[in-house]
Chains A and B, each alone.
Chain A
Amino acid sequence: MIRSDYNRPEIKKRATVDPKKRQFAPALFQNQEYAHRLNFYGLPPTANVTLEEFEEWAITRLKVLSELETCTFRNKNAEETLAYMTPILEKHLPLHSNSSRSSQLQAERRRDHYSHFILRLAFSSTEDLRRRFSRLETMLFRLRYRQDDDNRRERSEFINSLDFSWEIVDDKERAELGEQLKAATGSVFKKGDEEGYFKVDFEKVPELVEQRRCMLRRGMAYVPMREQMSLVVAEYTARLDRALDMTARELPRIDEDDRLSPILAHLSHSFTAPSASYDESNLPSSLHPTAANIDQLATHFPLCMSHLHTTLRTNAHLKHYGRLQYTLFLKGLGLSLDECVLFWRRSFRLMTDDKFTKEYKYNIRHAYGDVGGDANRRGRGYSPYSCQKLITEPLPGAGQSHGCPYRTFNVENLVSLLNAGGISDKEVVRGVREDVGKMRYHVACNRVFEHVHRKEIKDVKDKGTWGAAELDTLLHPNTYFKRSFMLKHLGDEDVQAEMKREKEGPMKREIESNGNEW
């Protein structure tokens, strides 16, 4: 689709300095002109900025990116994200269209351009950071692209400047394909949509292919003009990923710069994910999970896990992803590997020992980090799945029962499952229906939690023993369990001690917990 390498200046514009002299020639710093609001960030900045600007610009962009990330954690859809982000973008990283005739136009764009490249430097060092950065920058780009919906002319000017070459489907072919083409792409054209179709190799539009939103014919995808976004965004990501890899390779060269490297290091450190993870070191010590008492503990399980548990008890079997999800949850409970193996062995009561050892035991050990590659063992296996993970993973197939039931069940089945679990309060069920309808699955789960524990929560609130932090929204099945367990055992001494420790801060806890790692 791309005619030539976008990084390469045209031949006429290349510097004609003698290569021998060039490395000693004075650098040509110049301000770039920004003709378009959107930017593919093909050329790096070439002008000077102060160190203060360097740091400040980077931090504001970082702020925007982390807000964007929280939107995904909260499972907001595109419209909600747009509504939430617009004021934030306006405040921290404004970008106006040409038609706004703002006097700040060039300054805004420059700031956007520079901050992007500074963060590139900060986040190119590890694969993890690169992937995250590229994902968030893509989201930001997509958001801005959508903001331009009312300003199609400028947007198409920008796209034309990118030198894509897509083949337009001519009228004859369109007539030939006729209804099929319309059926494939879904809804009819809205007023104001750019009409027509273009065709590209199907590899270029994986999202459209996956959702069957374009027609395929002998390897070509027929895409309506309005789906341009998907293509442009895919190209943006591809270029950014390539550029990040290049940056990573160049990175050692600025290691010696003691002005920049501390700033960059600081930036990448502060870019840590909001903690949806779960720290298993501080479970109350009265909790002794063994293979034998899981059934009793199951009363404290969130719906996703109690559903797996009941399925396991009824079928004496669970499919792979269900086993994995449940094993990791049990691991997070503090169930030791030996006990966990014992638990599964007993649960698969219809299976021979031989089959169990051959086909199942290894996976359990792998999840605990007892076997597998070096990295797996060192990391002590996988960490228990968070709600975020369960809510975003692909839906289970036939015969599978993993995932978040608030999401995977249809509403009627969900309600009957809740009823079976003793939750039939009309108000709660109505709330759950509403949450699930809006795809806010974890809100529904929290609602159920608060209903089940309403007495205890009121109790601790009244006494003031638990602060707001301890009653924050649940984002992890294991946190659900832990909080439920502690609320139901408020009288126990060690739970009280645990609460006290929690308030004293994490440092001390870390030291204490090092002794009793499993």
Chain B
Amino acid sequence: MLSSLPIDNGINEISIHEAKATDPEVMRAFYQRLFPFRYLCHWLSHHPTPTKDFGFREFAFTLPNDAYLRYQSFPSADLLKKQCVQLVPSRFEIGPVYSSNPRDRKTLRKSTMFKPVSKELVFDIDMTDYDPIRTCCSGAKICSKCWQFITMAVKVVDVALKDDFGFKHVLWVYSGRRGAHAWVCDRRARELDDHRRRAIAGYLELLKGGDKSGKKVNARRPLHPHLDRSLRVLRDHFQADVLINQDPWETDEKAADLLQLIPDKPLADALRQKWDSAPGRSSSNKWADIDSLASSGVSKNLDTKALLEAKQDIVLEYTYPRLDAEVSKKLNHLLKSPFCVHPGTGRVCVPIDVRALEDFDPFAVPTVLDLLAEIDQWHKDHPEGETEAQKKMPDWEKTTLKPYVEYFRGFVAGLLKEEKIVKREREEDAMEF
């Protein structure tokens, strides 16, 4: 209903082409017309009408002047929307459900009565953690080559969450620039305490040690089923996305990193010699050289098993997900809400459909300005003769945000069904008199 309210938006007064994504007017129009507050509320309420899970939930706003406003809470989606329209936050984050209303936390007699109770189990994968191994970009930049790292990570983590932990409702969200978030929404996941969250993060974390710790993967053999499965998933990516696209050992300096990971000293020395005498070999060649030199017998007592295991470890080091584990370990960690706009890129943090993960292109994600222009375009294409149905059409349906909102709606519906409350799909018409 929200979106069909008559709105006097300011967007028509400014030219979209000159506007910046972070302009308060642009953001205001976005919250007013496009942001799917309704489904967000269903998602957090676990019910078609707002419940305590929504009302006692912490929201934190980042205002245009970069002030950070914590412990906001709202009885309904409408009031959250109203606040967003009023304050035009550049983004807002979602925290845990507390034992009492976050707004009243200072009026409680005892501070122990205010504590976090539940929150989705969340994961954050950020491209910066891949900087030591990616060669195409660094820092905030990404390209389609290095986006593959995120694709691999999502695959591995998603299957582990579903097959190993038995979670069903895992929502993946593009973080707007260079990463992805996961929200595990099953009741069982929401009620985990810090200790168990840490255990799950530990289960999924493989790379240990800082920059100077040398070999970062030291997996136990035989490989744990989770690692074994991950390795099978990642092996193909390693060939195509790492060796060919990233060419991680192109320079001598980087190749030294590889040599350091090879357990057999004579073999490493032979490889170094070979690469020094024939500079400019690609990473694929270098990777193949390991086996060819090993079989040519440069090292007399070569432990082939150890070499194979080291090679597996190297594949994992260059492909295995690098999680920002701190985010997952705490029940009260805040995470940016889906469908927010990334202030740097203007892109909307849309959900990623893992069934079509390979097709997801971060550069095709619409920016807030694109979307507003699309609404205008739609109105140009449908002058005057709007049918009743068209008039009631929410604005997001007129834009390329549509598939993302529909996916989210489907996801939320699945979650609500699981919560044993069958949502009665009401006809929009039945509500209007």
Contact = CB atoms under 8 A, between A and B. Distances in A.
Contacts of B196: 203, 206, 209
A482 to B, nearest CB: 27
Contacts of B403: none
B214 A410 contact: yes
A209 B202 contact: yes
Contacts of A409: 210, 212-214
B222 interface: yes
Contacts of A414: 212
Interface in A403-420: 403, 405, 408-410, 412-414, 417
Interface in B51-84: 66
Given A397-B207, A401-B210, A183 B322 contact: no
B316 to A, nearest CB: 13
Contacts of B188: 203, 219
B225 A215 contact: yes
Given A397-B129, A405-B212, A217 B163 contact: yes
Contacts of A358: 66
A408 B165 contact: no
B211 A218 contact: no
B132 to A, nearest CB: 6
A210 B210 contact: no
A259 B51 CA distance: 52
Nearest to A401: B210
Nearest to B112: A127
Given A400-B210, A401-B211, A207 B225 contact: no
B199 interface: yes
Residue among B131, B207, B225 with most chain A CB within 10 A: B225
A182 B221 CA distance: 11
Contact of A410 (B207, B212, B325): B212
A401 B328 CA distance: 21
B333 interface: no
Contact of A399 (B129, B166, B325): B129
Interface string A210-231: 1110011111100000000000
Given A206-B199, A399-B129, A399-B131, 4 more contacts: A202-B165, A210-B200, A398-B211, A405-B212
Given A186-B220, A210-B198, A212-B224, A218 B163 contact: yes
Interface residues of B, number: 39
A126 interface: no
Interface string B23-60: 00000000000000000000000000000000000000
10 contacts: A182-B222, A202-B165, A206-B195, A210-B198, A212-B227, A215-B225, A397-B209, A398-B129, A408-B212, A417-B212
A400 B215 CA distance: 15
A51 interface: no
A202 B121 CA distance: 15
B212 A397 contact: no
A450 to B, nearest CB: 24
Interface of A: 179-180, 182-184, 186, 202-203, 206-207, 209-212, 215-220, 358, 395-403, 405, 408-410, 412-414, 417
A397 B321 CA distance: 12
Given A183-B223, A184-B224, A219-B165, A212 B203 contact: yes
Interface string B74-114: 00000000000000000000000000000000000000000
A211 B192 CA distance: 18
Nearest to A414: B212
Nearest to A220: B166
A399 B129 CA distance: 7
B169 interface: no
A408 B164 contact: no
A180 B223 CA distance: 9
A371 B290 CA distance: 56
Contacts of B200: 209-210
A399 B165 contact: no
A324 B220 CA distance: 33
A210 B202 contact: yes
Given A206-B199, A408-B213, A398 B132 contact: yes
B126 to A, nearest CB: 11
Contacts of A216: 164-165, 203, 226
The 10 A-B residue pairs with the shortest CB-CB distance, nearest first, are A219-B166, A410-B214, A210-B202, A206-B199, A396-B210, A216-B164, A218-B166, A183-B222, A210-B199, A209-B199
Contacts of B322: 397-398
B308 to A, nearest CB: 16
A409 B216 CA distance: 11
Contacts of B214: 409-410, 412-413
A2 B203 CA distance: 26
Contacts of A186: 220
A439 to B, nearest CB: 14
Contact of A210 (B203, B207, B227): B203
Contacts of A417: 212
B128 interface: yes
Nearest to B165: A219
B208 interface: yes
Residue among B165, B214, B227 with most chain A CB within 10 A: B165
Contact of B212 (A207, A217, A220, A413): A413
B228 interface: yes
A398 B210 contact: yes
Nearest to A396: B210
A413 B256 CA distance: 14
Contacts of B209: 395-397, 408, 410
B184 to A, nearest CB: 12
A317 to B, nearest CB: 11
A212 B211 contact: no
Given A405-B212, A409-B213, A410-B212, A399 B195 contact: no
Contacts of A207: 199
Interface in B161-216: 163-167, 188, 192, 195-196, 198-200, 202-203, 207-216
B199 A403 contact: no
B191 to A, nearest CB: 9
Residue among B132, B188, B211, B322 with most chain A CB within 10 A: B211
Contacts of A184: 224-225
